[in-house]
Amino acid sequence: MAFVRYWRNYVNFSGRASRSEYWWIMLVNVIVVAVFFIIGSLAGGISGPPNPDGAATLGPGYGLYIGLSWLWGLANLLPGLGLIWRRLHDSNRSGAFYFMALIPVVGSFIVLVFLLSRPNPAGARFDK
């Protein structure tokens, strides 16, 4: 159900998203990228034979893995941003708080704490 709501609201930056909706989508993303990694490994390997100096090289499957992951990330760019925006609304914060992630080192942790926070009934003000 969360997956359907995710794609149905892919450019919706108003309203709210529950913690479970957010984390189910994160789980789906991890599983999809893991499947891409397995496909890349089966398609010739992620790493190739070492160079004469012993350094690792990239295998032919690495390009497939990167290509599939890049396409998945591109397809999820707007839906993911909308989901984060709505999740921040559910905790009664403006979606613009997402840009705190641009602050080096601590910004991402602050946004993560916001995403983990409990729903706040006052967040209903974002339901338009």
List, for residues 66-77, the tens digit of each pLDDT value: 999 999 999 999
In order of 7, 39, 49, the CA distances from 60 in angstroms are 32, 11, 11
Domain count, the chain: 1
* pLDDT value at residue 1: 81
In terms of phi and psi (left: phi > 0; alpha: psi -120 to 50; beta: otherwise), the region of 50 is: beta
In order of 32, 47, 57, 64, the CA distances from 36 in angstroms are 6, 15, 19, 8
* pLDDT value at residue 58: 75
Question: Structural domain of residue 107, as residue ranges?
Answer: 2-126
In terms of phi and psi (left: phi > 0; alpha: psi -120 to 50; beta: otherwise), the region of 49 is: beta
Query: Could you give the maximum distance between any two Cα atoms of the chain, in Å?
Result: 63
Q: 126 near 93, Cβ under 8 Å?
A: no
List, for residues 31-45, the tens digit of each pLDDT value: 999 999 898 888 877
Task: Look up residue 91 and give its amino acid.
Answer: S
List, for residues 97-127, the tens digit of each pLDDT value: 999 999 998 999 999 999 999 998 888 888 8
* pLDDT value at residue 50: 74
Q: Is the confidence at residue 90, as pLDDT, over 70?
A: yes
Average pLDDT over residues 78-100: 93
Task: Look up residue 53 and give its amino acid.
Answer: D
